[in-house]
Structure 1
Amino acid sequence: MIAALLSVYAILATTLLPRGLMRARWSDRAPRLAISLWLAACASAIASGILAAVAVAVPADAIGHGLASIIAACFALLDNGFDPAAMPVGSWVALLVGALIAARAFSGVGTVLVSAYRERRRHAEMLRLLGRHDSELDAIVLDYEEPLVYCLPGRQSKMVITTAALRSLTPEHVVAVLAHERAHLRGRHHLVLAVAQGLSRAFPGLPLFARAKEEVVRLVELRADDVAARHHPRVHIAAALVSLATGRAPVFTLGAGGETALARVRRMLHPAAPLRRREKLAGTMAVGVLLAGPAAVALLPGLSALIAHHCHNLSLL
């Protein structure tokens, strides 16, 4: 029953849940919370698939006895009547499916991280040869005829601005847009994007992961805009975005322009009211439910067996 419940939830989460999340009109008002919700939904779907496989393979009473053993013997191994050698073939198949889901997720994210690291290292070498550091801007100035402002994440993170961008932007706009890039670096948004992109690559064709990738790409830009707007006038950020809207930064970097720029201009000029406290609390609780829900459902039979085990022992006293 538990395995079936988790399997059904995993299917619904990967197909129908994105529709509900896309209807959340508050996401633009709280991009960081919305990012957490999308990633929690992805983690919830993956965890449900893995735990469903475990629930098929491992009997509930073995989990319960194992928990009792842990409590009684200070983290003893699960050795109370559970013999892996006696497991049927179907249980091994279920465990294999769970392991493949986990391996697929880690492989997808790892591949994106390694690929992006290699590309950024090559780009950093190019910047050392062709760019020059501007101490006043604390950025690399690159001779290029397209207006671009972007950041290169990593251990030796860099912000890059082209000479075309310096010509088209006023000094106030330059400072504001560099604050946007600095927000990307401090927020480690490249890691958030790597998770979303890696899961989309690992599970192609599933709406949840495809939508999560698209939304996270958009939401990290909104988040950086909001952080920059704490210290710089919104109109300066909006003006810079207009000038950089047609720019195409390298795919492995985080750029201020791009196809979302014009929509972000409207958001900067007409900011919506921030979420109220209870709305933030509801969103945070939703993230918690998504993250903890599958584990709680999977552990329910084991906890029931644990309680029954202790009740039986108490009745013998």
Structure 2
Amino acid sequence: MTAAAVLALYAVVATAAPPRPRGGTGWAERAPRLGIAVWLAACASVVASVLFAAVAVAIPAPVLGHRLAELLEACAMLLSEGVPPASPVTWIALSCAGLIAARIVCCGAAVLVAARRERRRHAGMLDILGHHDGELGAVVLDHGEAAAYCLPGRRGRAVITTGALHSLAPEQVAAVLAHERAHLRGRHHLALAAAETLSRAFFRLPLFARARSEVARLVELRADDVAARRHSRAHIAAALVRLATGNAPAATLGAGGETALIRIRRMLSPAPPLGRGERLAGLAALGALLAGPAAVVAIPGVSSFLAHHCHTISIF
């Protein structure tokens, strides 16, 4: 029961008190892709902790260790001993775990289906009203508002309006389209869908709500960084100034939006990238978030197995 208590306590604390961003020069802003992975891993670790806590309640460590020894000794034979009847606590724990898993699956399906429906509708509209410009490698939409966005999916497309083409210099157009292609290549819509699924499944509790907003912000920073590999940061910043008020359609990723001002400052005054030690620390935190819950629930069972059954196992 100790493992279950530890996992449950971690889930409550992490959910109720998520870390707050440190501002424009925090480590996540300096390494957006790692930041996205850490936020999603933090959410996954909480979900895994709840599920593994239920497993720890249903299967105590001595039972787990004993069954592990039997499995090794029998080598794929079914356990010969009968399993004791499940207690009400076991049924409650497993039922809660099943309900949580089912809710995540249902919310994920709802998010993906709704997004796919909206993208299919918008793609049909682009087929009628837009035209593909081979030189730009994007769909041009006749619209007076300056906007640029990408439509993710199997036939992902970058889209730019005639209003944006008239207000942006050619170098700025190339930079903003590189930003949109970075979204498509990075499949950022999947990271956003995962964050939206968890936020919806857990009623927008603080951790999941913060992760949703942070992932939405960091995917834009990541796309800016990819675009900046081949285009001037000044051109990206100038394009953002003109596209800041542009609205992207639903289920798309736009170059403008409410994060434009922060991104402009970031492009004009870039912070140094993470050092090797900082990046290794971030990767270690990522690994701990992903593997920690499983380790907490597995260690008592393995310890019980080693304490009571090692003497019965022979290598011959």
TM-score range, shorter chain: over 0.9
TM-score, normalising length from structure 2? 0.94
| 1:210 to 2:194 alignment | no
Q: What is the aligned partner in structure 2 of residue 311 from structure 1?
A: 310
* Pairwise CA distance, 1:205: 3.8
Give the conservation status (yes or no) of the 8 Å contact 2:31–2:274: yes
Aligned residue pair count: 312
Match in the other structure for 2:63: 62
User: Match of 2:87?
Assistant: 88
**DSSP-derived class of the 1:232 partner:** coil
Superposed CA deviations along residues 282-314 of structure 1, whole A, max 9, x for unmatched, are 010001001100000001121112213433415
Alpha-carbon separation, structure 1, partners of 2:142 and 2:77: 63
Query: How big is each residue's C-alpha offset from its partner over 1:261-293, in whole Å with a ceiling of 9 and x where there is no partner?
Result: 111000000000001000000010001001100
Equivalent-residue separation in structure 1 for 2:256 and 2:233 (angstroms): 15
| 1:223 match | 222
Q: Distance in 1 between matches of 2:80 and 2:267?
A: 61
CA distance in 2, matches of 1:81, 1:2: 26
Instruction: Identify if the C-alpha distance between structure 1 residues 159 and 74 changes in structure 2 by more than 3 Å, giving closer, same or farther.
Output: farther
* Deviation of the 1:217 alpha carbon: 0.3
Q: Give how far 1:23 is off.
A: 3.8
State the AA in 2 paired with 1:221.
E
SS in 1 for 2:153: coil
Contact conserved, 1:56 with 1:94, CA < 8 A, in 2? yes
Deviation (angstroms), 1:82: 6.0
- 2:255 paired with 1:256: yes
Q: Distance in 1 between matches of 2:124 and 2:313?
A: 69
CA contact (8 A) 1:66 1:80 kept: no
Where structure 1 has 5 or more consecutive residues not aligned to the other structure, the ranges are none
CA distance in 1: counterparts of 2:22 and 2:151, whole angstroms = 33
Q: Match of 2:12?
A: 11
| Consecutive unaligned residues in structure 2, runs of 5 or more | none
Determine if the alignment matches structure 1 residue 159 to structure 2 residue 158: yes
Residue 176 of structure 2 corresponds to 177
Q: Deviations over 1:159-218 (max 9, x none)?
A: 111110111111110000000001000000000000001111111141000000000000
Mean Cα deviation higher: 248-257 or 217-226: 248-257
TM-score, normalised by the number of residues in structure 1: 0.94
Q: Is the 8 A contact 1:148 1:255 kept in 2?
A: yes
Where 1:161 maps in the other structure, the secondary structure is strand
> 1:62 touches 1:82 (CA, 8 Å); kept in 2?
no
Alpha-carbon distance in structure 2 between the residues aligned to 1:41 and 1:154: 26
Moved more, 41-50 or 302-311: 302-311
Equivalent-residue separation in structure 2 for 1:194 and 1:240 (angstroms): 27
2:197 alignment partner AA:
G
